[in-house]
Chains A and B, each alone.
Chain A
Amino acid sequence: DIQMTQSPSSVSASVGDRVTITCRASQSITSRLAWYQQKPGKAPKLLIYDASNLQSGVPSRFSGSGSGTDFTLTISSLQPEDFATYYCQQAKSFPLTFGGGTKVEIK
């Protein structure tokens, strides 16, 4: 199975900050990576697919990059509605696997 490791597990940031979350795969997944946002009590929401493609309707302050084993999700200017938990997920092979999550908290 491909293991997905996210860092940090939590980050405290202020509105307007630039936030970067990292995801590392235990083996190459080429660009087969998605990022999700989950707010408390809500279902996850797809932000980025294929490592860098913005899902329709997602604000452009979200961006993704990387290939192979190392990936990043960047929020260019954190907004109040962005405080949430973010997950990466690989779609290179079954079983599909998620990272452990990164909680973005208010500083």
Chain B
Amino acid sequence: VQVLESGGGLVQPGESLRLSCSASGFTFSSHAMSWVRQAPGKGLEWVSAISTTGATTYYTDSVKGRFTISRDNSKNTLYLQMNSLRAEDTALYYCANDIRDGNNYGWFDPWGQGTLVTVSS
């Protein structure tokens, strides 16, 4: 079971970025997925989750209206479209798979290595 994030980088405030997470070793379409971030030197913060089919999504308040989570089950890939980026969005973004089949949210394992997003002028 493996997930691999990509797409991070340095952007200016107000700009956009799309993160990707490529999954392998499990039936991607059967698992809900999440994004969790960690600001430099700080703790973990759950950002967003998506159901197995993509029909249902959840967001933390600070990213609602700016971030969009989606998935392509035919490509075993999870996405996070991030618009109107702010300095406080600077973090290592992890893709995380719930260990259970179905629309279950919360028991994350494994995690990817993360992709770093830096928002700075």
Contact = CB atoms under 8 A, between A and B. Distances in A.
Given A43-B94, A49-B99, A55-B99, A98 B46 contact: yes
A96 to B, nearest CB: 4
A2 to B, nearest CB: 11
A98 B99 contact: no
A44 interface: yes
Nearest to B107: A49
A70 to B, nearest CB: 18
A34 B58 contact: no
A52 to B, nearest CB: 13
B14 interface: no
Interface in B36-77: 43-46, 49, 58-61
Interface stretch (A17-25, A60-68, A71-79, A86-94): A86-94
Interface in A37-56: 38, 43-46, 49-50, 55
A46 to B, nearest CB: 4
Interface stretch (B23-31, B78-86, B108-116): B108-116
A87 B99 contact: no
A32 B106 contact: yes
Interface residues of B, number: 22
B105 A91 contact: yes
B107 A95 contact: no
Contacts of A100: 43
Contacts of A44: 44, 94, 108, 111
Contacts of B112: 43
22 contacts: A32-B106, A34-B106, A38-B44, A43-B113, A43-B114, A44-B108, A44-B111, A45-B109, A49-B99, A49-B106, A55-B99, A55-B109, A89-B108, A90-B106, A94-B49, A94-B105, A95-B46, A95-B61, A96-B46, A96-B105, A98-B46, A100-B43
Top 3 A-B pairs, shortest CB-CB distance: A91-B106, A46-B109, A43-B111
